[in-house]
Chain A
Amino acid sequence: MRHATRLAIGPAAFRIGSDWRAPIAALDDLYRDYPKPEVPDFNVHLFAARPWRKFLRPAVHIGGDYTIPDAAPLPLAQGLLAAEMGMNLQMALAQRWFLLLHASAVERGGRAVLMTGISGAGKSTLAALLMARGWRLMGDEFVLIDPATGLAHGFPRLISLKNQAIAVVRAALPDARFGPLLPGTPKGDIRHLVPDARAIAAMAAPAEPALLLFPRFGFDAAERPVPPSEAFVRLTQASTNYVHLAERGFDALTRLVRTVPARAIDYPDTESGIALVEALA
């Protein structure tokens, strides 16, 4: 491919190739402090379906070692988002060593708080704000559970902030590095936040899972314990590779829900959300 770069996020290494310079330039800028792996685990392709579509109404198709058919392309202005989606796709489809949970995570004193929920529950926002308050960010999209040790490994890619969360996090982290504002994506407005130096420096360090949270945004403040059975079922739905890992996946997940307390929390605004998390952790 014409333009290419390499980068490692936590235990996963990528090579990203593109028919256009812009997405690679954006990655090189925002991921400049990340390690550059020699041999990547996964390849991502950002390509034009037809040669003339490189120039004429350019549409970025997302491919790679592992692909899903009929994925809709993105406009070139959202090339950075396409690259992020491409990396997420490789992880979701082909990560086989770790049990992959769709969750954000932060760590303090070696203890990890895992937050999972549907899109819009506030996973990324809570993780970014907790990072602003001194927690080590482990990731805002995936948490990787090692079936051999039960430890959580981080995947601190760029934090993907959406819609109203963008202004909230900018106010909390005025000096942080942000990517360009990407208006009108399939998920609304998106702006990427570069994790702080500490998160990047410690990205290979795993942590003991200490608390499982199921946050919901936009409800009156409330909190209830989640029994292991319910946590198990919800986490099977939050995992993209639970089925593929078979017995290893089952063992890792049952161990997690048996040893780690779980809480469902509702919060009306980010301040009370942060307060709830810090009170429980």
Chain B
Amino acid sequence: MTPGWRLAHVLRAPSLAMDFTAREWTELFAVARAEQMAGTLAHRLNGLALPAAVQRLVDDAIASAGQVRLAALWEAEMARRALAPLGMPVVLLKGTAFAAAGLSPSVGRNIGDLDILVPRDRIGEAEAALLAAGWEWVKPDPYDDAYYRRWMHELPPLIHRERDRMIDVHHTILPLTARITPDAEALLAASEPLGNGLSILSRPDRLLHAAAHLLADGDLAGGMRNLWDIHCMFASGASADLTERARRHGLIREMARAPRLSHALYGTERGLRRLYLRRLTARDGWGRQTRKLTRLGFYARSHWLRMPPLMLARHLWTKYRKGYRPVG
């Protein structure tokens, strides 16, 4: 079993780790850290009779995740204060949304940037308000800046100059160049208020966003965490109107595939979607990426999904001339 798979198995059934060797424990945490899942793993393991050195790693990871959660919620509050005078809906997405609503994927989950969704026709106002409140542009390259504004589903990322935290302001959940066009107005209309001026996506939309993010955008990097989110959301109960909602956003295929994958990785089913699972578990015992060819395939696929061929060629040519190389 590869170290990547071992992490998936322990997340599903933590007691499997009870007879781990020191080396297996070491590799488990190396992979979990690389997948940004050390806090999630720690919460799963806590309470079991662990070796002292492992308990220390668990305690550290739990404390660290608690701090990450606090900082993420504070960042959401800072954005709320900056945007409140505009009176526009502000919807929290992904990790911050899970934490703010106390949803099950949030237990120990790492949260990076603050992701929010606002109405597309008011995104300029939101940007101006954030700039006035201390956020700054971080994409100095005019091509990148223009690319974001014309083709992406979000503003170029902004970083707060004092807190050094990034905010991604979305107006929809997939790039405008992607073949799938989710209904952003429907996302906003169905969003659920948290009572403090912020909202989160409705239950089916949260699932659809996670599925779209995993399967219709990107190369499955960080996919283990994404699928854990999906696994947790499904585990807390099915959603009756999911299919109707998926059809509306054009995400029927993704919505079918995501739970199959999460089940294959964290459930009991086996033998499904081998190529995807190969990509998802591509880590060695040091947490480093393996299976370069598989990853390259998914990297190519991510761009294929994201934009039409001619545009892709132009984009890659521009990036190539600027000296960009894909990571890894």
A sample of 28 cross-chain residue pairs with beta-carbon separation below 8 angstroms, ordered by A number, consists of A38-B22, A38-B51, A38-B53, A39-B22, A39-B25, A39-B57, A40-B26, A41-B56, A41-B57, A43-B26, A43-B30, A43-B286, A43-B287, A45-B286, A45-B288, A65-B30, A65-B33, A65-B287, A94-B64, A96-B60, A96-B63, A96-B64, A96-B67, A97-B60, A97-B63, A244-B67, A245-B67, A246-B71
> With the chains together, A3 CA to B60 CA distance in Å?
28
Residues of B within 8 Å of A37, CB to CB, are: 53
Residues of B within 8 Å of A41, CB to CB, are: 56-57, 60
Residues of B within 8 Å of A40, CB to CB, are: 26
> With the chains together, A96 CA to B54 CA distance in Å?
15
Cβ of B272 under 8 Å from chain A? no
The answer on a CB contact under 8 Å between B286 and A17 is yes
Which residues, 9 to 62 on B, are CB-close (under 8 Å) to A?
22, 25-26, 29-30, 33-34, 51, 53-54, 56-57, 59-60
Residues of A within 8 Å of B30, CB to CB, are: 43, 65
A36 → chain B closest CB, angstroms: 11
Which residues, 275 to 328 on B, are CB-close (under 8 Å) to A?
286-288
Known A45-B288, A246-B67; further 16 A-B contacts with Cβ < 8 A: A1-B286, A13-B53, A17-B286, A39-B22, A39-B25, A39-B51, A39-B54, A43-B30, A45-B286, A47-B288, A63-B288, A65-B30, A65-B287, A66-B33, A96-B60, A96-B63
B161 → chain A closest CB, angstroms: 14
Cβ of B194 under 8 Å from chain A? no
Cβ of B256 under 8 Å from chain A? no
> With the chains together, A1 CA to B63 CA distance in Å?
30
Q: Select from chain A the residue with minimum beta-carbon distance to B288.
A: A45
Q: Mark A97-114, 1 if CB is under 8 A from B, else 0.
A: 100000000000000000
> With the chains together, A245 CA to B63 CA distance in Å?
9
Residues of A within 8 Å of B51, CB to CB, are: 38-39
Residues of A within 8 Å of B63, CB to CB, are: 96-97
> With the chains together, A39 CA to B53 CA distance in Å?
6
B43 → chain A closest CB, angstroms: 15
> With the chains together, A41 CA to B33 CA distance in Å?
11
Q: Mark A139-176, 1 if CB is under 8 A from B, else 0.
A: 00000000000000000000000000000000000000
Q: Mark A201-228, 1 if CB is under 8 A from B, else 0.
A: 0000000000000000000000000000
Residues of B within 8 Å of A96, CB to CB, are: 60, 63-64, 67
Residues of A within 8 Å of B286, CB to CB, are: 1, 17, 43, 45
B6 → chain A closest CB, angstroms: 15
Residues of A within 8 Å of B128, CB to CB, are: none
> With the chains together, A246 CA to B22 CA distance in Å?
32
- Lowest 3 CB-CB distances: which A-B pairs, in order? A39-B53, A38-B22, A65-B33
Cβ of A15 under 8 Å from chain B? yes
Cβ of B70 under 8 Å from chain A? yes
Pick the residue among B26, B29, B57, B70 that contacts A246 (CB under 8 A). Answer: B70
> With the chains together, A17 CA to B34 CA distance in Å?
16
Which residues, 159 to 215 on B, are CB-close (under 8 Å) to A?
none
Residues of B within 8 Å of A94, CB to CB, are: 64
Residues of A within 8 Å of B64, CB to CB, are: 94, 96
B304 → chain A closest CB, angstroms: 26
> With the chains together, A245 CA to B66 CA distance in Å?
10
Q: Select from chain B the residue with minimum beta-carbon distance to A17.
A: B286
Residues of B within 8 Å of A45, CB to CB, are: 286, 288
> With the chains together, A15 CA to B22 CA distance in Å?
12
> With the chains together, A97 CA to B288 CA distance in Å?
25
Q: Mark A240-264, 1 if CB is under 8 A from B, else 0.
A: 0000111000000000000000000
A253 → chain B closest CB, angstroms: 16
> With the chains together, A245 CA to B68 CA distance in Å?
10
> With the chains together, A37 CA to B34 CA distance in Å?
21
A10 → chain B closest CB, angstroms: 14
Residues of A within 8 Å of B34, CB to CB, are: 65
Which residues, 67 to 98 on A, are CB-close (under 8 Å) to B?
94, 96-97
> With the chains together, A40 CA to B30 CA distance in Å?
10
Q: Select from chain A the residue with minimum beta-carbon distance to B68.
A: A244
> With the chains together, A15 CA to B59 CA distance in Å?
19
> With the chains together, A147 CA to B112 CA distance in Å?
26
> With the chains together, A66 CA to B38 CA distance in Å?
12
B254 → chain A closest CB, angstroms: 30
Residues of B within 8 Å of A39, CB to CB, are: 22, 25-26, 29, 51, 53-54, 57
> With the chains together, A45 CA to B30 CA distance in Å?
11
Residues of A within 8 Å of B26, CB to CB, are: 15, 39-40, 43
> With the chains together, A1 CA to B60 CA distance in Å?
26
> With the chains together, A246 CA to B51 CA distance in Å?
29
Residues of A within 8 Å of B53, CB to CB, are: 13, 37-39
Residues of A within 8 Å of B59, CB to CB, are: 97
